[in-house]
Amino acid sequence: MTKSVTQERIKRLEQHLKEENPILAGCVQSFQKLDQVARKLGLMDPDDSYATQVSWWPVISVLGTYSAGKSTFMNQYVGQELQRTGNQAVDDKFTVICYGAGAASTSLPGLALDSDPRFPFYQISRDIEGVAEGEGRRVDSYLQLKTVPAEALRGKIFIDSPGFDADMQRNSTLLLTDHIIDLSDLVLVFFDARRPEPGAMGDTLTHLVGNTVQRPDSNKFLYILNQIDNTAREDNPEEVVAAWQRALAQQGLTAGRFYRIYARNVALQVEDPQIKERLERKRDEDLDDIEARIRQVEVERAYRVVGVLEKTAKHIRDVMVPRLTEARRSWRRRTLWLSGSVFALLGGLLLWWSWQAGHWNGFFLMPLARLEVEFQIAVLLIAAVLVLVLHSKLRELAGRSVLRSLHRSDEPARDRKATERAFGWNVKAWWGSLASASPRGWGPLQRRKLEKVLAEADDFVQSLNDRYASPSGKSDT
């Protein structure tokens, strides 16, 4: 059988990871086992794969408000003028930045990201289309890829986002923002110290802070007050910092680091040398800590991928299968109610017609008894086929009503689409509505396969722990 494009890409990914990180190469195989379960359940198209829904490279995303100095930070980190900077919004695209093998920097269209499973926006055009009809074809207006021959980028991916304002963002941009937050190993959230009224940014702070502090991976978020040097010129840095800390605390950020930085190449015009020295010392300490976290993402990436594997397996077992089971139960109830009502009505009409015709006793049998045996069998078979066809149509009608209720559910768009697809897979199959409530394709074999993947995820974590930790103090040599 000819391999699909996705299968070929996953094969190349696995070969690459065998050389770079054999543990993650094993994760690719485990993801493919999940694919088999999902396809059996009808949750996934034949050419889709969970392996393409996770970024296999360490990802650092840079989010923040307009003119918060995100691009300036990236240019300083890379060591060249890669991103445009300015006090106004200068770039309205999400820019994926990675190491480039060429001698010069290159810019590639969003299609390069949408079509490559190694990058974090593989097939994102389909999700954009789901929230903004017609926009999926304009992926180049949302994304771009820049490659830079800079050693600081080797082995990792940065995502520089456009300036964020929750009141003004389109649904498609909010979807992309949430997407990169979910897949990132590290999220740098920048705020502009020159904005003296952070309390006026209620919706923006809620999205960038309030919606993240309760996440199980909240430790990957670094909240950075940038361009703090401007407050020194106004002699009120402590007041500005305190105002921002109060605003973030109102969103639930009561613990964790709050960084205060500005570009290292800025020459402060501060008369008091003590204030200048204190700001520079604090800036250097915080920048060193941020850059140390960036260097750490290679380790965090491996744990993130294993975490996604485990989370996906549990999500199928604990969320998708119960949701499909309940939908199927609802389908059974509606099918039984419709079938019972329709056949009872038809039976009542036949009895009424028989009574009106004056041959109540034996109406059903007398005409049939006059026929030859072969014709009797043929009539009975035709009647049985008609009953089955009618029952099938009633099942489909009940199934469509359940599909409408699923479409109106408030579950995430990706889950809703998968549930609808899987339930449609159940409705189309010749699967008796009075049979088991278990979804089609779900049984002891698939359950054991899921449990095996979860066990493999635990083994991957232990292997990673063995690589990075040694509580006994012994080293493998």
265 with 383, same domain?
Answer: no
pLDDT (tens digit, 9 = 90+) per residue, 19-39? 778 888 899 999 999 999 999
Give the position of tokens 């209620």: 202
Q: State residue 87's pLDDT score.
A: 46
Q: Which amino acid is at 61?
A: S
| Residue whose C-alpha is closest to residue 75's, from 51, 49, 53, 97 | 97
Q: Could you tell me the pLDDT band of residue 430, with boundaries at 50, 70 and 90?
A: low
Residue 410 three-state SS: coil
Q: Are 204 and 166 in contact (CB under 8 A)?
A: yes
Residue 159 dihedral angles phi and psi, to the nearest 5°: -125, 110
**What residues have CB less than 8 Å from 239, skipping those under 6 apart?**
231
Identify whether residues 113 and 218 lie together within a single domain.
Answer: yes
Indicate which CATH number applies to the domain containing 134: 3.40.50.300
Q: What is the pLDDT of residues 387-413, one digit of tens each?
A: 777 777 777 777 777 778 777 766 777
Q: Which helix (H) or strand (E) holds 305?
A: helix 273-315
What is the pTM (predicted TM-score) of this model? 0.66
Angstrom distances, CA of residue 467 to CA of 28, 72, 297 = 19, 36, 15
- Both tokens assigned to 388: 């089955």
H-helix or E-strand containing 11?
helix 5-20
Domain of residue 423 covers 324-460
Residue 312 lies in a domain: no
Same domain, 255 and 346: no
Tally of structural domains, the chain: 2
One domain, residues 361 and 430: yes
Nearest CA to 201 out of 236, 163, 228 is that of: 163
SS3 for 80? coil
244/330 same-domain check: no
Tell me: the pLDDT tens digits for 180-225?
788 788 989 888 877 656 555 666 777 777 777 777 777 888 888 8
Q: Residue 346 CB: number of other CB atoms within 10 A?
A: 12
Matching residue, tokens 């189309």? 428
